[in-house]
Each structure stands twice: as structure tokens, then as C-alpha cells.
Amino acid sequence: MRRGVWHQFGDRSQKLALDHLQNGVGAGVVISPRDLSLDSAVRYAEEYHALGAHVLIDQQFYLPDTSVGRLDSYPTVQYRASISQLHQISDTELDGLAKALEHINRQVQSDGVLAPAVVYEAGRPEIARLNSRLFSGARAVGDLLGLPVYATVVLGQSTTATETTLSQALASATSLPADGWYFAFEFDDERIPSSQGAVQRCCGAGLTLACTGKPLFHAYAGPLGLLSHGFGAAACGLGHSQNLWRFDRGRWETPDVQGGGGDAPARYFSSALWGTIVHPDETAQIPRQLLAQVMTPSPYTSPWNRWGANKHVVHVIGSTVQTMSAVDDARANAHTAIAILRQAVHLHGVIGAAGIVLRDGTNSYQANWVDAVEDLLQTRTDDFDYLALLK
């Protein structure tokens, strides 16, 4: 698993990823069958490889009976069914699913096999058994193609509510003979996770997976990717859309018919705030000297528009986390993240003292993340020591 920032695909991500790879941001891409047909995935994968990027394809079996987006363009579509039906999948059908996975991974020339998996839920041992069987099919494909096989470990909210349920889900996942972990954590429905307890449990779960000595991919990380290398992740997934900033199962549910974003103003992601500010509505209120601290340059700020904002956020977060990835020391990266967040808390305080109120609760999580990481460093010090010994 290549260390660093990976482009996590959502809607219209394929060209954005190309742009950033050409500008030196990104170690690889994770293709989304929901958003890109198989034919297009094959075509773009060739371009990514030509730029030196690694490629993985996420089978997105989280809600296994869904057929939204471009999922029906993949041969795995015939094996999508309800959890109860999949639990009864025959050996013959499992072989068929494995052949479909082999075809897809050959076509995109993937650099590893992401095993399909359902979201882990508390009190659902049948899901753990199903994920084990699905993994066995992916394992056979990886062995055939000579590729590492990464177990998909998506922890649903029912598993993350307590340490007990979280430990049970992780025990099921780590029993799989995987070569690494593709890990995601389901938070409350917020733009950016703000709960100290939830963020600490996410980081702690990642740390547990990292302590297996196998590489960890923090999927759907978004701005929380600032913490990924600090809990031992080798890679983190970054996308431009807010529904890629945390695991959101709503992306695989049949969408309600409703309007789009309309003329909502573009949000400018500031590394100094580690959050967004509306530009130019809010930036115009900030005194020039203070504004110089807030604004983070990127190649995508002129002309300024919503698509430019999408490219900008990937560039800013990606560049910061990519720099951190050069240091293969979880504890050191945790302290780097704390320093960035403390400065962000201070700058938000200065802005607030000037009588300026920013939208979106963009200052609601940084201090909580600091507390979460500091608590993790204190309570799991032996695990951080163990990670250091593994290097």
C-alpha cells in the first residue's frame, strides 16, 4: 500500500484526480463504481498509472442490495442482494463473484484487491460471517493475481457507540487473513465530525488495526485525514465533496428527488483554520492583516468558483497530509496534528474577538480533536510504542 494521500472518488472526481496528480498531489486513487462505469474506470486507470499513481477499486458492497449510480455496469451486479440473501450464498455463487472481482481488477490493473464487505453492525454476527465469506472470494483473487488483499472494515454507528461493541467488531475484522485494512468509521450526520468521544474511538479503532503490523488505509477521511497518520494509517482517502468527508451510507441509498445546491457560496478551505470560510462574503469582513493568516494559496483560487473551491480543498488538505506522510512515526504525526489544530483554535478565537461569526460551525471541532488525540496518546501509549517498534 503506497503511503500518503489517495484521491477518494465521488461525483466528477476522475478529472480532478488527474489534475492533482499532474501537480504532484496524491499517491493513488480509489475508484468508485457508484460514480464511474467500468469502461470509464479502465480508461482513467491507464492515465493514473501513467502518472505513477497506484489504483484500487472499492467494490462498495456496504449496502449490498443497492443499484444506484453506475454499479450496474460492473459484473458484480448480479451478486448484489440483501444481507439475508447473501448470507446464504452458495460456494458456486461465491466462485462466480470471485471471477467477477478478478475481471474488474484485471481490467483496471489494480495494485491491490479491496474485498467487498457489508457495514459491520453490533449484535449482527451473521454480518461478520458474511464478510468472512466475501473476503475469502477476494483472497482467492489476490492469490491468483499476485496482489495484496485488503479487508474492508466499515464500522457502523451501532458498533461505535461503546468500546465493547467496537472491540467486538474489530475482533471479527482482524481475524481475517488480510494483507491490510481499508477502514471507515460512521459518524453522526455532520459536515465534519465534532464529537471528541467519536473521533477518539475512530482514531483508537484505526490504531488497533495499525497495531496488527499491516498497512492501514483510512477511507473517506476528508479533513479528519489530518489525524490519519497520527493513529498509524499508511494512507488516507480524500475527496472534494462533503459526502466524502466521512463514511455516508446515504451515498448508496436511492436518492430523494430534490433540488441541488443552487447558488450557495463557495467555501474556502483554510489550512490555518483547518476549516472553511465563505469567500468572499466572510473573508471581506476580516481585516487585511488577519486575512493574510487565514488565506491558504493554491493553484485553484483564480478565478474563484464552486469547482475551484472543490479543487482547492483537495490541494490544501492533500498537500498538508502528504507532507506529514513523509514522517513514518505515528506519535510524531499526532503531535504535528495537535500543533496545527491548536493554532487553528487560536486563530478562530482572534476572529471571534473581532466580532466576526463564521457559518457552518467551522470552529466547532478543532479543540475537540485536540482533546481526542491527546487522550489517545495518553491512554494508548503502549500501542504507540509498539508501532514505533514495528518500523
- Return the domain boundaries, the chain: 4-252, 267-390
> Digits of tens for pLDDT over the chain (391 positions)?
999 999 999 999 999 999 999 999 999 999 999 999 999 999 999 999 999 999 999 999 999 999 899 999 999 999 999 999 999 999 999 999 999 999 999 999 999 999 999 999 999 999 999 999 999 999 999 999 999 999 999 999 999 988 899 999 999 999 999 999 999 999 999 999 999 999 999 999 999 999 999 999 999 999 999 999 999 999 999 999 999 999 999 999 977 644 444 556 789 999 999 999 999 999 999 999 999 999 999 999 999 999 999 999 999 999 999 999 999 999 999 999 999 999 999 999 999 999 999 988 999 999 999 999 999 999 999 999 999 999 8
Exposure of 338 by Cβ count < 10 A (0-12 exposed, 13-18 middle, 19+ buried)?
Answer: buried
CA pair distance 84, 127, nearest whole angstrom: 9
With contact defined as beta carbons under 8 Å apart, do 344 and 273 qualify?
yes
pLDDT attached to residue 236 = 98
- What pTM value is reported for the model? 0.97
Q: Can you state the percent helix, strand and coil of the chain, rounding each to 5?
A: 50, 10, 40
CATH number of 4-252: 3.20.20.105
Ranges of beta strands (E only) in 131-289 are: 149-155, 180-185, 216-218, 235-238, 267-270, 275-278
